[in-house]
Structure 1
Amino acid sequence: MDPRALETLRAVRTQGGVTAAADVLHLTPSAVSQQVAVLARDVGVALTERVGRGLRLTPAGEALADAALDVAVALERAQAACDGFLAAPRGTVRVSAFASAAQLFLPRLLSRVPHGVDVECADEDVAQADFVGLTDRIDIVVAHRPDGAGSWGDRVRVVPLLREPLDVAVPTGHRLAGQETVHPAELAGEAWISVREGFPISTVLAAVAAASGTEPRIVHRINDFHVASSLVAAGHGVSLLPRHSHGGGEGVRLLPLTGVRAGRRIDALLRPDRAERLVVRSVLDELCALAAEIDG
């Protein structure tokens, strides 16, 4: 079996279809379909089936995709065994992060990567459910999830980086601005500036609202924390802002929450095969060290 066809089959599963898989593999949809068809002929069983206008893997396809991961990991380990005899790992590593983590990590990460390693950065701010899919085209994906959220699943390797508290941002002239902390009950009736549904901080706001016993009154949905902070400073509502990666701004006071765990977990996600590459591991080590400095 062709390892490239096995990788294509995995991409069809993780991306949810042929067209999306073609995008991450830089192939045409017809090329993806052809590779999967050849693979099906090689193994002698159907690997995909039609569902409405889309395509999904059959049980045999799922089993082969699982086995394909083991093949990819073994191949990368074999390459890493040879790379270990080089003086230092060399190559290009693609790293992505959601917007606020990109601001927090990427400038400092680029300043400390080993000589001979090129890091290509991208900002990828997607809904929580879409972070795992990014690992098909990006070596290290910096993702976030709210406290108490489920795992990322067993198809990616997860390296925890840090837990970042989320504080309530209020204008400096707000009735609560002079306090050291704030309880959710004190926020009942406030106008909230929140992120879009499906993003991790929206889940945290729901937990804060539940602890207050009232539904949050969301007046604006803004994913850019700088914009949200500006709206808070101008008196147009309160918001949840990440302590390390934003830290407030002029005209804004950050208040830690009591009575509810309000935070997000920042993790590095990698495909298990790419996690075996020495050059990827060298960048991941620097990212972990940087996170430890920030957390400390």
Structure 2
Amino acid sequence: MLDVRRMQLLRAVVTSGSVTAAARDLGYTPSAVSQQITVLEREAGLALLERTGRGVRPTDAGRLLNDYAAAIGEQVAEAETALADLRAGRTGRLAVRYFATAGASLVAPAVARFRRAHPDVRVELRLGEPEQSLPELKQGGADLAIVVRSPDRLTGDGIRFTHLLDDRYAAVLPRGHRLAAKRVLELADLADEAWVGSEWPGPCLDAVLDACASAGFRPEFGVQSEDYATAQGFVAAGLGVSLVPEMGLGNRHPAVVVRRVRNPVPVRVIYAAVRESSPAQPALHGLLGALRETADSQPSGR
């Protein structure tokens, strides 16, 4: 098998025209260069150089290997440049998983902000619920996931969570509801109402149920929609009241009113999740920064 380093020595000899000149340029002794060329000739099974006075010139085999050595040198240089770009975060690929209501108001502007600074980094976006996104992240199928997580479940599993924002829930009532005249509702005001569910079982629903438990009741869900737009439709039809996070109220149904609630304020906490074992990646760090900056500008705040 041909040794690439010896091929590069051959190239230096052919370029300089003599073993002595190549040795001087490379900081070797002439005898060391000659020994390596001799080994390369044994590997090739052919003579690679012939003497011409004080110098040498390549044989046909020597010219052939010299051409390949030049091509290898160019590829190595290209590889070094590509690695430098990757280390600096100028190129690369990031796979991101996010949930639906985070897409338009958080992920889209953050990725646009990131691309202005990193135009050659490809960001692959895919919708996924936290129950799917976190296992995929742990298995290396994604580099970053936007998830809702309870603050008391942020340790272990090899995942590092970065807090982005607290998305407050608001009460959604039919127009003309007896509570619609109040600007701010006590959460307990809704205890005896029929409820329209807006969440799948998981951390978002847990945030609603925990807040209601703190207010001294458990909501009675007459309708399960598990979708914010559909939940508003059921509320508009007079089938109950609902709690919907602010990020889920981008398109409000014209026949509902939205009111703030307190004591307590139900909140779902949104995090960016990455693997603790992920190597340092400037591009990933840049995307996290863009997400934090975008989250800071959200009406819900941090």
> TM-score range with shorter-chain normalisation?
0.5 to 0.7
Report the secondary structure of 1:110's partner residue.
helix
1:176 aligns with 2:179: yes
1:139 to 137, 143, 150: 143
Match of 1:262 in 2: 266
Pick one of 277, 281, 286 that aligns with 2:290.
286
Alignment of 1:3-42 (within 5 A): none
Aligned partners of 1:241 and 1:248 also within 8 Å: no
Q: For 2:196 and 2:123, locate their aligned partners in 1 and report how far apart those are by CA, in whole Å.
A: 34
Q: Of the candidates 149, 159, 162, which is equivalent to residue 162 of structure 2?
A: 159
**Identical columns (%):** 25
* Aligned counterpart, 1:10: none
> Are the equivalent residues in 1 in contact too, given 2:173–2:240 (CA < 8 A)?
yes
Q: Structure 1's 248 and 238: CA in aligned 2 closer, same or farther, altered over 3 A?
A: farther
Over 3 Å counting, the alpha-carbon distance change for 1:290 and 1:197 in structure 2 is: closer
1:244 aligns with 2:247: yes
Matched, 1:201 2:201: no
Deviation at 1:156, TM superposition (A): 0.7
Cross-structure match for 1:186: 189
Distance, in Å, in 2 between the alignment partners of 1:102 and 1:216 is: 28
- Number of residue equivalences: 213
Task: Determine whether 1:276 maps to 2:280.
Answer: yes
Residue 152 (structure 1) shift? 4.8
Say which of 114, 121, 135 aligns to 2:125: 121
Shift of 1:87: 6.1
Residues 1:217 and 1:245: Cα distance change in structure 2 (over 3 Å): closer
Cα offset, 1:256, TM superposition: 1.6
**Higher Cα Rg, which structure:** 2
**TM, length-normalised to structure 2:** 0.63
TM-score by length of 1: 0.64
Contact 1:104 1:245 in 2 (8 A): no
CA distance in 2, matches of 1:87, 1:185: 53
Point out the more displaced range, 278-287 or 203-212: 203-212
Unaligned 5+ segments in structure 1 are 1-78
**1:72 maps to which residue?**
none
Amino acid at match of 1:118: R
What one-letter code is carried by the residue in structure 1 that aligns with 2:107?
Answer: L
Per-residue CA deviations over 1:69-106 (Å, capped at 9, x if unaligned) read xxxxxxxxxx9xx6478665211111111111123223
For residues 184 and 285 of structure 1, the distance between their equivalents in structure 2, rounded to whole angstroms, comes to: 35
Distance 1:198 1:278, change over 3 A: same
Which amino acid is the alignment partner of residue 110 of structure 1? V
Unaligned ranges ≥5, structure 2: 1-79
